[in-house]
């Protein structure tokens, strides 16, 4: 923590003192106490870290959860100074009595309160959920910025997206792109990833922008920066190609099970219809990658129907029940996205199904399986081109 109390209750921000002054405090044996639990805390002021306070060994304290270290303290202080320099009303480690929480930073803008949390440690998901629920109760909007050590970029648009990070995806209101934030106090890079699409387990694509903190202002953080429909189409074309051609060795888990399931269905990845593995922005709500759940929907449900027969969203949902995530696992996403409906929208557009009512669809055309990899690669390309001609439809 950056602030601690003196015996009489006065708050002290250690980082506002210079080395000499801190040395003097040490010599004079000043005593500091945790504002949350009142236990004595000690000064941490090494040469390469921002001066801060820490609890003495394993004291249990709500402010201590996750055991955030100097990297976190430094980042928090920099974000604080950055906001302060823009004349934003911001408090460091303010205690919110009504919910007994202490966000890293509390901003008040036009009577609206925003809690900014700088998260570096791998805190249990249940604690993150509780903190978000507290903010919700108090009418506070949370913004979570992750330590950039957690950011693992693989190409210009690809990055690792693990289960832990998924819960920090924001959507500020329905229809806006999914967004993640990262900050590195060492390089001062502030990274914004928007328009996130899961491509495979632990993998995603997104529009990544990285700027020095001092080159942006707080409102800039919310500027929308999505893929153009054409960009997304190109990226997804590559994903589909990879999907068809990637050599798969030592398969295990879900992916192995999926290949075995295909085998039992008497088909193979190379022959699958091109409508399997389409970009669905709400795909984060599925536990399995798009090629997995979409192929199950196509082969187990759609392919079994004769042309003209109807299917309901409910029956599909039941069939895919083991693939669906709980919306409460995404505390920062208010909207109730429906990936199955989004996918059916794409299929409607491709004239595979027709929408009869909000919940019912009719099969219009049979699925086209391929006989060779050349044929399927060509088919994938044609299908993505068909989607590109309707840019408003691809961002289902
Ligand atoms: Zn404490």
String of DSSP letters for 239-250? HHHHHHH----S
| Mean pLDDT, residues 304-332 | 93
- Give the tens place of pLDDT for each residue, 114-173: 999 999 988 889 999 999 999 999 999 999 999 999 999 999 999 999 999 999 999 988
Specify whether 140 is located in the same domain as 13. Answer: no
For residue 54, the CA-to-ligand 1 centroid distance in Å is 8
Specify whether 194 is located in the same domain as 72. Answer: yes
Specify whether 97 is located in the same domain as 170. Answer: yes
CA distance 367 to 49: 61
Counting beta carbons within 10 angstroms of the beta carbon of residue 310, is it exposed (0 to 12), middle (13 to 18) or buried (19 or more)? middle
323 and 160 Cβ atoms separated by less than 8 Å: no
For residue 32, the CA-to-ligand 1 centroid distance in Å is 11
Specify whether 108 is located in the same domain as 37. Answer: no
Instruction: Please report, for the domain that includes residue 86, its CATH number.
Output: 3.40.1350
Specify whether 27 is located in the same domain as 124. Answer: no
Last residue of a domain, one of 170, 194, 226: 226
CA distance 102 to 99: 9
Check whether 395 has a pLDDT greater than 50: no
Specify whether 218 is located in the same domain as 234. Answer: no
Name the average pLDDT for the chain: 92
**Pick from 205, 195, 378: nearest CA to 290:** 205
Specify whether 186 is located in the same domain as 248. Answer: no
For residue 25, the CA-to-ligand 1 centroid distance in Å is 20
For residue 40, the CA-to-ligand 1 centroid distance in Å is 8
Predicted pLDDT at 37 = 85
Specify whether 74 is located in the same domain as 138. Answer: yes
Spell 336-352 as b/e; 16+ CB within 10 A means b.
ebbbbbbbbbbbbbbeb
From the DSSP assignment, how many helices (H) and strands (E) are in the chain?
A: 11, 16
For residue 88, the CA-to-ligand 1 centroid distance in Å is 27
Specify whether 124 is located in the same domain as 106. Answer: yes
118 and 104 Cβ atoms separated by less than 8 Å: yes
Predicted pLDDT at 334 = 83
For residue 58, the CA-to-ligand 1 centroid distance in Å is 10
Give every strand in the sheet of 112-119, ordered side by side: 89-92, 105-109, 112-119, 141-147, 179-183, 189-200, 203-212, 158-160
Specify whether 274 is located in the same domain as 312. Answer: yes
- Give the tens place of pLDDT for each residue, 80-102: 999 999 999 999 999 899 999 99
| Mean pLDDT, residues 372-382 | 97
Tell me how far CA of residue 144 lies from CA of 102, 108, 128, 214, 387, in angstroms. 14, 16, 10, 19, 34
For residue 130, the CA-to-ligand 1 centroid distance in Å is 18
Counting beta carbons within 10 angstroms of the beta carbon of residue 112, is it exposed (0 to 12), middle (13 to 18) or buried (19 or more)? exposed
Last residue of a domain, one of 226, 259, 293: 226
For residue 35, the CA-to-ligand 1 centroid distance in Å is 7
Neighbours of 362 (CB within 10 A): 15
For residue 56, the CA-to-ligand 1 centroid distance in Å is 9
Per-residue pLDDT band at 218 (split at 50, 70, 90)? very high
Show the domain range for 299: 230-394
For residue 193, the CA-to-ligand 1 centroid distance in Å is 34
Contacts of 105 (CB under 8 A, 6+ apart): 76, 79, 80, 83, 90, 91, 92, 93, 115, 116, 117, 118
Last residue of a domain, one of 172, 193, 226: 226
Specify whether 247 is located in the same domain as 187. Answer: no
Tokens read off for 228: 């153009």
**Pick from 285, 320, 321, 314: nearest CA to 300:** 320
Specify whether 40 is located in the same domain as 71. Answer: no
Predicted pLDDT at 247 = 86
Q: If you ran DSSP here, which 8-state letter would residue 170 be given? A: B
- Give the tens place of pLDDT for each residue, 37-84: 889 999 988 877 889 888 887 777 766 655 567 889 899 999 999 999
- Give the tens place of pLDDT for each residue, 262-301: 999 999 999 999 999 999 999 999 999 999 999 999 999 9
For residue 10, the CA-to-ligand 1 centroid distance in Å is 16
Predicted pLDDT at 393 = 46
For residue 53, the CA-to-ligand 1 centroid distance in Å is 10
Check whether 396 has a pLDDT greater than 50: no
């Amino acid at each position: 923590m950056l602030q601690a109390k003196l015996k009489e209750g006065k708050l002290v921000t250690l980082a506002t003192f210079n080395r000499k002054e801190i040395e003097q405090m040490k010599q004079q044996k000043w005593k500091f106490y945790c504002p949350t639990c009142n236990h004595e805390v000690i000064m941490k002021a090494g040469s390469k870290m921002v001066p801060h306070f820490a609890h003495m060994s394993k004291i249990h304290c709500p402010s201590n959860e996750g055991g955030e270290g100097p990297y976190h303290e430094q980042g928090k202080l920099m974000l604080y100074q950055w906001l302060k320099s823009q004349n934003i009303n911001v408090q460091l480690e303010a205690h919110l009595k009504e919910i007994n929480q202490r966000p890293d930073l509390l901003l008040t803008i036009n009577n609206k309160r925003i809690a900014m949390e700088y998260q570096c440690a791998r805190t249990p998901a249940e604690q993150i959920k509780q903190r978000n629920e507290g903010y919700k109760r108090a009418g506070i909007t949370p913004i979570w910025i992750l330590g950039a050590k957690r950011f693992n970029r693989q190409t210009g648009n690809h990055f690792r997206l693990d289960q832990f990070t998924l819960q920090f995806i924001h959507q500020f209101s329905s229809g806006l792109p999914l967004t993640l934030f990262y900050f590195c106090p060492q390089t001062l890079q502030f990274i914004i990833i928007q328009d996130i699409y899961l491509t495979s387990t632990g993998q995603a694509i997104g529009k990544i922008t990285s700027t020095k903190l001092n080159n942006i202002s707080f409102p800039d953080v919310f500027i929308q920066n999505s893929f153009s429909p054409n960009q997304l189409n190109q990226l997804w074309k590559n994903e589909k190609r990879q999907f068809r051609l990637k050599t798969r060795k030592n398969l295990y888990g879900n992916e192995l099970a999926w290949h075995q399931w295909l085998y039992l269905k008497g088909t193979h990845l190379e022959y699958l219809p091109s409508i399997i593995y389409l970009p669905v922005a709400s795909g984060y709500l599925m536990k399995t990658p798009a090629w997995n759940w979409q192929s199950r929907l196509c082969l187990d449900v759609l392919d079994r129907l004769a042309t003209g027969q109807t299917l309901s969203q409910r029956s599909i949902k039941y069939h895919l029940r083991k693939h669906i995530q709980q919306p409460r696992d995404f505390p920062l996403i208010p909207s109730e996205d429906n990936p199955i409906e989004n996918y059916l929208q794409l299929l409607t557009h491709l004239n595979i199904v027709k929408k009869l009512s909000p919940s019912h669809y009719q099969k219009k055309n049979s699925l086209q399986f391929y006989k060779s990899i050349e044929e399927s690669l060509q088919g994938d390309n044609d299908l993505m081109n068909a989607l590109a001609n309707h840019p408003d439809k691809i961002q289902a």
